[in-house]
Each structure stands twice: as C-alpha cells, then as structure tokens.
Amino acid sequence: MTFLETITSPADLKALSDAECQVLTKEIRDTLITTVAGTGGHLGPNLGVVELTTAIHRVFDSPCDTILFDVGHQSYVHKLLTGRYAQFDTLRQRDGLSGYPSRAESEHDIIENSHASAALSWGDGIAKAHQLKGESERSVVVVIGDGALTGGMAWEALNNIAADSSQPPRRLIIVVNDNGRSYAPTVGGFAAHLDSLRASSNYEKLLSWGRDRLQQSGPPGRAAYTAMHGMKKGLKDMVAAPATGMFDELGIKYLGPVDGHDLESMEKALTRAKNFDQGPIIVHAITQKGRGYAPAIEDEADQFHAVGVIDPLTGAAQPSTGTSWTSVFGSEIVEIARTRTDLVAITAAMLMPVGLEKFAAEFPERVFDVGIAEQHAVASAAGLSYGGLHPVVCLYATFLNRAFDQLLMDVALHRQGVTFVLDRAGVTGPDGASHHGIWDMAMLQIVPGLQLAAPRDATRLAEEFREAVEVSDAPTVVRFSRGTVGTEIAALRRTADGVDVLAETPASLPADVLIVSVGALADRALAVSEALRAQGIGTTVVDPRWVLPVPESVLDMGKEHALVAVIEDGVKIGGIGSQIRQDLRDDDSRTGVLELGVPDEFLPHGTRDEILEYAGLAVPDMVDKILRILPADIVDRVERTSTRTG
C-alpha cells in the first residue's frame, strides 16, 4: 500500500516523517499524471502545488481551519489529501469527482465557484465571522495564484483586509502561488512587482549558489538535490526579510519569497504565518507550473494548463477528430484584420483558449491581454471604440457574467461598436456548474440595442462574425459552443431579414409546429422535425442566425403555426423562447410557445451529450414534450389519421 492510499484525512499527514512526505509527493505527482491523462483536466496547475498543498495540510487543521482555493482548478492535490484517492479516477466524469472543490464531496471544500479573484473576499468574510463568534484560534488560508491577483476584485479585498484594525487581529493567511502564469505568462504591473520581489531578495542568490553546487555534485539526482537544499543553512529556510514593496505599504505582513517545492521551507513559512498574531500575512511561494512532468515543462505555451485525454508518457494528445469552433473563429479574425486595420482584440488572460494566438502572432500590437479583469476589458473596449477602433472582446461565455454592468452602461448606453465573441457558450460539459455558459442569452436580451448571433456551423460562424464587426453603433455578440464544429447544414432559403429556413412544412401537412433552432442545436432540431413528421405533424425549422432581437420573419411564421418550439442551450427562463413568447403576445398572437431550454439550476459535470440529455434536450425528450403540449385539434387529427392508416 502506498502512503497516498493511507491518507483518509489531512490529519494522517501529520504522522508522516519528512522522508515519508517526500515519497508521498512523488506518489501524488504520479497519480495526477496517470489519472488526468485518462480523464482530462487541469494538469499543469496541480503539478505545481503538490508540496505547497501538502505543507498547508501539515501545518493547518482543516476543516477547523478554513482553506480556500481561488479559481479551484488547482485543488486536485487537496482532494487527494482529504480522503478522495479511491474516487480520483472518476474525476470530471458524470456522477464522479468534480474538477473543482465541491461541498457535496467533502467538508474540506468551501468555494465551488471557478471564477477567479473571489477567494480573498471569501477569506475576509469568513475571518470576520470567526472573530464575531469568538473563534479566535481558527485560521483562514487563501491560496491565490499570481494570475488571479490581476483581477480587480482581489484588490478590493486586499484594500479592506489591509484597512482592518480590529482587535484581536483576525487570523488570515494569504498564500500567493507565484508561478508567473495564469493560462499563459501573467501580464501587468503586479507581475512585474512580484518579479522585483524575487530579484531583490536573497532567493535568487541562494538559488544561484544551489545551482552551482548541483553542477559540482555530478549528475542530477536525489544526492544532488539534497546537496542543493542541505549544504547551506540559509538555503533550507528561504524566508527572506520582509520586502519593502506594495504589501508592506498596504500594511500587510509579507514573508518570502519561499521555494514552493521545498516542503520543509514551506512548512516553516506557514508555521510562522500561523503563529503571527498581529493581523493578515502574505506568504509568497514560488512554484513551477507542470513541475515534475517533462512534457508540461517543455510546453512553453500553457504548460499543460488544461488537457484532454493524453498519453501519460509523452503528453501527446489524442488526434483531433474535427475542427473546433475556436479555431474557426481564430482563422476568421485574422482574415478580417488583414483588411480592417481598425480591428483590435481584447482578452482576459485567455489568449490561447479563445483562439487569438494567430492574431497575436500576426498583429501583436493590436491584441490586449488585460489579465483576469473582464470588467476592465469591456470598459476599455468602450474607450477603444470611442477612439475609432473596432474592439473584439473574446471571453468564455460564463466569464461575461462578471462584466455585465460594463457592457450595459459603458458599451450599450454609449452606443459603442464593440463585438463580443463568447466561446464555450451553452452546455460545456466536464468543468461543471460555473463553467457552463448558459446565462448569456437571458442576461443579454435586456440590453437595449444589443444584437446577438448564434451560428449553427462553421460557415455561419464566419459569416455572422463578419456581419457583427460591421456594426459600429451598438454592441454585437457572437456565441458558439465548446468542442468540434458539426456537419454543415445548408438552408433551403433565406428570408429578407436574414433567417435561414432549414426545413419547410410539406404540402401534404398543415403548418402545425414552427421549430426555432438556436446555434449548434440545429441537427437536433431537424431530427425532432423528422420524428414529428413521421407521426403526421407538419413542421417548419428555422435558424434565426441573429436571435436578438427576434427577427420579424420568425414572428410572422410563428403566427402561421399552431405552436412554436424554441430549442436553445441557455436557461429557458428569460431565454430566446421567452422573448419570442413575449413578442408574439405583444403582437396579439395566440400562438403557443414551448421553451425547450436548460432548466433554472446549476448543471452538473459530464460530457456535453450527457448534460444535454440531463437538461431534457435529447431528441426523444423534446419530441415527447412537443406532443404533450400540442393543441387538442392537432392531436385528434393525428389520432384519426393513425387509426385510418393502421
């Protein structure tokens, strides 16, 4: 039995010797690599926090001491050390372990939200609660990456944490996991400040000395590692004197930098922080993303931040079976930018995931990575638009939630021409509740003047994106799904206002059901249509292309049918179906509307198909719902026809 198999709770760690802990950290890395290679997930970030997380659980007493992970994608090691080793091979699978902390899994998990920069605010609030309840011995530990500290919310929290003068001081320990990266290298002034702290301390000098000793001691190995970390007393405890940087100026005690992969040094620093009784304290830990796995270290782009299924030995990904939505967009924006010199792109620490690497390579001066700062990205885009450029703000759909006020008040109110490209819109799959991009259409339909497109295939994505960037006096949005683009679906005809008719009601059948397909669900809409026709129900299928505002031709066709069924992978409360229902009602139409969308709940994790089925968007389920809501006269006609033919 391995040491890892014996860990049922963090308390078991305290019984291990230092040597046994070194073996344990090796077992953890091996488990991370073999498991994530089979399930996909956030490999690089977790390889980088093995010793850091182990040290935290050795020094503090979870759950009495509260441990919070900002973003949470680096919590796999935490899961392994809190008794979930036996279930770890179910990571990110339907009904298995979440890829983020989950309260349903463990009392040691607190923040399930995978949106960055919020944990310091949580920590501030929990520490205040402990104090007000007289629980002065309970510590709150917040692990936050340097990338997340580019978010404005983190600095709002730091401002309040630094201003706290309560007595006795609250026990709040902030562990800055500094690997110089979010997805890609961390950008901005704060990253430069951390660089200066590293350079100005004894840390660099000691590491330089250690590297020299390593070279003198022969081939790298355990003996050389021990020589580097044990032959000079100062190198074993890499907690430097307090820095004279912004943290001191804020009034927050600072310890570091500390080698985040030296378990002994990390434990010493954390113990000092735990015993510090004069207010909040920052422990600055230097780590390496992808630590211990050569393919991740060699990947300079994102160091295996998030991977699909890979070969655990080589890190090679499974061959792609198709073209991704992201790559289609990435190629199209470059083509447009070659003739539109006013086109610029903005992203929030996700240049590669949203497909901007080609754009950045060809037009480096026209792309702005603002860090994890969506609010700034959108307000800055308004300024870029006012200055005569056309900004394209590229985000995951779920992260637009963070910048709604700026979209509404800075872009829409001022009628600025800004295009928003929302990747991973709708049901995304294995990353779970807070990564599903299901709120954007309901949220955006209340923005005056906004126009939103939902392409069904690659051709329409390119077409609708080109149309979007032609709009200069209002916000435009193009949303598309996660994963591979499906088969091209040609239209039978296009209406004067740009609606594609994908299937017409046969002349032999009455116009019973108008099926409105939103985005990448067009193939399912056509399958529903075929199933209904097989039962004698006349159907028409349309793709509005631009779903907001609802095109007039969709409403006109809706009035000609007995029922409108709207298929969308956004929340149905306030979604496109809801808007069509309202528009028809305002036009005195009595046509019924059935919203076939996502239920108003936080969806679980699993594959995209599994979650669509869970949400009731499998073809048989949608057919059944339509049959149950059809007007009585249509049901009677179908039953009479069935009896005669039977």
**Annotation: binding site:** 73, 114-116, 146-148, 179, 293, 374
Distance CA 87, CA 127 (A): 32
Which residues are annotated binding-site positions for Mg(2+)?
146, 179
**And the tokens for 516?**
């409105």
- Cβ(228)–Cβ(210) under 8 Å? yes
**And the tokens for 636?**
């009677």
Active site residue: 79, 92, 402, 581, which one?
402
Active site residue: 374, 464, 568, 595, which one?
374
Burial class (CB in 10 A: 0-12, 13-18, 19+), 369: buried
| Distances, alpha carbon 428 to alpha carbons 7, 256, 398, in Å | 33, 39, 10
Cα-Cα-Cα-Cα torsion 633, 635, 639, 640, nearest 10 degrees, comes to: 10
How many CA atoms, within 13 angstroms, populate the side-chain half-sphere of residue 363?
A: 21
Ranges assigned E (strand) in 384-538: 390-396, 419-423, 451-453, 476-479, 493-494, 500-503, 513-517
Which residues are annotated binding-site positions for thiamine diphosphate?
73, 114-116, 147-148, 179, 293, 374
Region for 62 from its dihedrals, namely left if φ exceeds 0, alpha if ψ lies in -120 to 50, beta otherwise: beta
Beta-strand pair 476-479/140-145:
unpaired
- DSSP state for residue 408 in the 8-state scheme: I
Distance CA 516, CA 500 (A): 10
Q: Please provide the DSSP assignment of 573-640 as one string.
A: TTSHHHHHHHHHHHTT---EEEEEEE-SS----S-HHHHHHHTT-SHHHHHHHHHHHS-HHHHHHHHH
- DSSP state for residue 324 in the 8-state scheme: B
- Cβ(97)–Cβ(87) under 8 Å? yes
H helices of 344-429, where? 357-362, 374-386, 397-400, 404-406
Ranges assigned E (strand) in 434-487: 451-453, 476-479
Instruction: Provide the 10 A C-beta neighbour count for residue 15.
Output: 8
- Cβ(190)–Cβ(176) under 8 Å? no
Instruction: Provide the 10 A C-beta neighbour count for residue 12.
Output: 14
Residue 335 annotated to the active site: no
Residue 289 annotated to the active site: yes
**And the tokens for 154?**
């983190």
> Nearest CA to 186 among 426, 428, 351?
351
Residue 374 annotated to the active site: yes
* φ, ψ (nearest 5 deg) of residue 368: -125, 115
Active site residue: 289, 424, 479, 581, which one?
289
Ranges assigned E (strand) in 103-235: 140-145, 172-178
Find residue 393's DSSP bridge partners: 346, 420
Cα-Cα-Cα-Cα torsion 215, 219, 221, 223, nearest 10 degrees, comes to: -70
Q: Please provide the DSSP assignment of 190-215 as one string.
A: HHHHHHHHHHHSHHHHHHHHHHHHHH
Distance CA 601, CA 599 (A): 6
Residues belonging to the active site? 289, 374, 402
